[in-house]
Amino acid sequence: VVGKLNAREVFDLIVDRAWNNGEPGIIFIDRINEDNPTPWLGEIEATNPCGEQPLLPYEACNLGSINLALMLNDKNEFDWDKLDQTVFKAVHFLDNVVEVNNYPLPAIDKMTRSTRKIGLGVMGWADALIKMGIPYNSQEAVDLAEKVMQHVNDAAEQASMRLAQVRGIYPALHECPDVSNYPNIRNAARTTIAPTGTLSIIADCSSGVEPLFAVAFERWQADMRMKDVNPVFREMMEEEGIEVTDEMIDRIMKVGTIAHMDDIPERIRKVFTTAHDVQPEWHVKMQAAFQKYTNNAVSKTVNLPHDATKADVEQVYWLAYKLGCKGVTLYRDGSREEQVLSTGASYKKDEPKTATLEAMPPQDGVPSLQVQQAVIPRKRPDTTTGFTDRIKIGCGKLYVTVNYDEQGVCEVFTNTGRAGGCPSQSEATARLVSLALRAGIDVKAIVGQLKGIRCPSTIGKGLGCTSCPDAIGRLIERVSKQIDAKSISLDEKGVVYDQVEVTPIGATEPEFVQGQGKCPECGKPVEHESGCVTCRNCGYSKCG
């Protein structure tokens, strides 16, 4: 029937995709609207990217987090008075942010000041539990989570009501047709639990309400791998008089957990429960405990081992719904080619593989999906070597980079010059070509599809190419031919092949690109700045 989908088939497809690479997450939009603090302004249709902040059109995120590990007293018990004082200051601060912020659009300015929503949350939860000697995957931890978040939520509401007495209620409340059912409060919503990825790194604490990802792990930062060891683990080991050596760190990093290490005291092993030590149901129970006393939503990831099944994914979704969560995301270890945090035990994909998609049986007259053989591209190599051509196209200049590794041509990058062009189309072509190359598709077949494609902007200009795809295909072909002729060595890295001459397309200036420190688009030096990689020559930015 036109306009209708089979619910079971859609759900199965969501489960399949989440199992495959962690996307999409799932939200329960009806439940979110049940808690909509301003229903007279409209229904909520979406959340921010991490799922914790349901918002109306043109509302803005305004988030802050309290480090719970710093809310303990010298007996490692919660100092409730200190937590109250911190919440009051945080609510005051976030309300100030709404007032002094410069908004990019008048509509955002108007809507954000009208509802004045803030999102005060927490982080350092795993660190706090460790200091208190409570395992993350325990009922004691879940019960304490409810108590802590109820305290934060109540204190945030009181703080916002006090602000309303001085500064006034949020303006949208004046429009409410049944204002007697709503408190006189400064902020329509007060609490949210965000992932706090960057914040927790700055604060040197565990992120959000997650368990520790690992006691020691590698972190990708600005194209570099850095070793990271939990600071509370170091502190507790020092209390035991045990040095945390590089050798110990390397052993921990192989699996991420310390549960198997007999040279670490049992009391420490007991509380340093990592994400993969925690069964999926405990992940969901913890999220539900915090959600119970959170105005908005909770960002939380259920970590699954690589061998988890699609049935495991489905069970996580159903349990999240039954326990009152507003949504849930999950990630199966190793299901993506690259992941920001990893341990030595993380599953890695090195070579192209084939995966069979399960056939779905017909339901309610809907034809079943056909069984397909899917080719999974091999992992992108850490280091590649290649060439960049600057090519004249109908609307300016196009920089095309073709890289290769020990198996041959493996990827393509493009970037347009300052005069403009079609950057999204040429980038899309380059990405798809790169996937095809690493999936083992014949180079000649790819070139045959690209060469000869025509663009109206090149007509009558006497250029050396007929379009952006044509230029990409021509450079791939030239590099591939030189590889076949053994003019380029595939087994030597870090060598500048000055003797190799690549015939330019039209009046181009070929430049050699290799290793790190060179722009993948134009070959010029790049700069590491503010956690990103940028090129001042052509404007390339790895962060977009």
Q: Please tell me the predicted confidence (pLDDT) of residue 368.
A: 40
CB atoms within 10 A of CB 138: 15
Q: Please tell me the predicted confidence (pLDDT) of residue 433.
A: 93
Task: State what percent of residues in the chain have pLDDT above 70.
Answer: 79
Highest mean pLDDT among 174-178, 343-347, 520-524: 174-178
Q: Please tell me the predicted confidence (pLDDT) of residue 495.
A: 36
Which distant-in-sequence residues (6+ apart) come within 8 Å of 454 by Cβ?
466, 467, 470
Q: Please tell me the predicted confidence (pLDDT) of residue 419.
A: 54
Q: Please tell me the predicted confidence (pLDDT) of residue 420.
A: 56
Q: Which residue has the higher pLDDT, 521 or 459?
A: 459
CB–CB of 121/65 below 8 Å? yes
Q: Please tell me the predicted confidence (pLDDT) of residue 367.
A: 41
> What are 472-507's pLDDT values in tens digits?
999 999 898 888 887 776 655 443 333 333 334 443
Q: Residue 544 pLDDT more than 50? A: no
Q: Which residue has the higher pLDDT, 132 or 485?
A: 132
CB–CB of 7/15 below 8 Å? no
Q: Please tell me the predicted confidence (pLDDT) of residue 188.
A: 97
Tell me how far apart the alpha carbons of residues 538 and 526 are, in angstroms, rounded to a whole number: 10
Q: Please tell me the predicted confidence (pLDDT) of residue 260.
A: 86
Q: Please tell me the predicted confidence (pLDDT) of residue 526.
A: 60
> What are 157-183's pLDDT values in tens digits?
999 999 999 999 999 999 999 998 999
- Residue 476, sorted as left (phi over 0), alpha (psi -120 to 50) or beta, turns out to be alpha
Pairing, β 396-405 against β 385-393: antiparallel
- In 3D space, the residue among 486, 333, 444 whose CA is nearest the CA of residue 22 turns out to be 333
Give this prediction's pTM. Answer: 0.65
Average pLDDT estimate for 10-18: 94
Which distant-in-sequence residues (6+ apart) come within 8 Å of 427 by Cβ?
414
| Amino acid found at 175 | E
Q: Please tell me the predicted confidence (pLDDT) of residue 360.
A: 39
* Count, residues in the chain: 544
Q: Residue 422 pLDDT more than 90? A: no
Q: Which of 138-142, 292-296, 334-338, 468-472 has the lowest mean pLDDT?
A: 334-338
Instruction: Quickly count helices (H) and strands (E) in the chain.
Output: 15, 18
CB–CB of 253/218 below 8 Å? yes
> What are 22-79's pLDDT values in tens digits?
888 899 999 999 999 999 999 999 998 899 999 999 999 899 999 999 999 999 999 9
Residue 211, token pair as written in the block? 């368990």
> What are 182-206's pLDDT values in tens digits?
999 999 999 999 999 888 989 989 9
CB atoms within 10 A of CB 67: 20
Burial of 367 (0-12, 13-18, 19+ CB in 10 A): exposed
Which distant-in-sequence residues (6+ apart) come within 8 Å of 520 by Cβ?
388, 401, 403, 413, 513, 540
DSSP H/E element including 198: helix 197-203
CB atoms within 10 A of CB 416: 22
Tell me how far apart the alpha carbons of residues 60 and 117 are, in angstroms, rounded to a whole number: 8
Q: Please tell me the predicted confidence (pLDDT) of residue 350.
A: 47
Q: Please tell me the predicted confidence (pLDDT) of residue 507.
A: 35
Average pLDDT estimate for 230-247: 91
Name the 3-class secondary structure at 536.
coil
Mean pLDDT for all residues in the chain: 83
Q: Please tell me the predicted confidence (pLDDT) of residue 145.
A: 98
Q: Please tell me the predicted confidence (pLDDT) of residue 257.
A: 86
| 373 Cα distance to chain centroid | 28
DSSP H/E element including 144: helix 139-167
CB–CB of 186/169 below 8 Å? yes
Burial of 174 (0-12, 13-18, 19+ CB in 10 A): exposed
Q: Please tell me the predicted confidence (pLDDT) of residue 122.
A: 98
Q: Residue 371 pLDDT more than 70? A: no
> What are 211-225's pLDDT values in tens digits?
998 898 776 665 566
> What are 88-127's pLDDT values in tens digits?
999 999 999 999 999 999 999 999 999 999 999 999 999 9
Computed from CA positions of residues 255, 261, 264, 270, in that sequence, does the dihedral angle turn out positive or negative? Answer: positive
Q: Please tell me the predicted confidence (pLDDT) of residue 510.
A: 34
Q: Please tell me the predicted confidence (pLDDT) of residue 463.
A: 73
Q: Which residue has the higher pLDDT, 424 or 508?
A: 424
Calculate ∠ Cα 176-178-183, nearest 5°: 80
Tell me how far apart the alpha carbons of residues 286 and 289 are, in angstroms, rounded to a whole number: 5
b (16+ CB within 10 A) / e for 87-124: bbebbeebbeebeeeeeeeeeeeebbbbbbbbbbbbbb
Q: Residue 328 pLDDT more than 80? A: yes
DSSP string, 210-222: PPBS-SEEEEEET
> What are 270-317's pLDDT values in tens digits?
999 998 889 999 999 999 999 999 999 999 999 998 899 999 999 999
Torsion, Cα of 433, 435, 440, 446 (10° steps): -10
Q: Please tell me the predicted confidence (pLDDT) of residue 386.
A: 86
Q: Which residues are catalytic?
A: 48, 50, 52
Q: Which ranges in 409-490 belong to alpha helices (H)?
A: 423-438, 443-450, 468-484
Confidence of residue 363 (pLDDT cuts 50, 70, 90): very low
Q: Residue 356 pLDDT more than 80? A: no
Tell me how far apart the alpha carbons of residues 253 and 151 are, in angstroms, rounded to a whole number: 36
Asked whether the bond before 57 is cis by omega within 30 degrees of 0, the reply is no
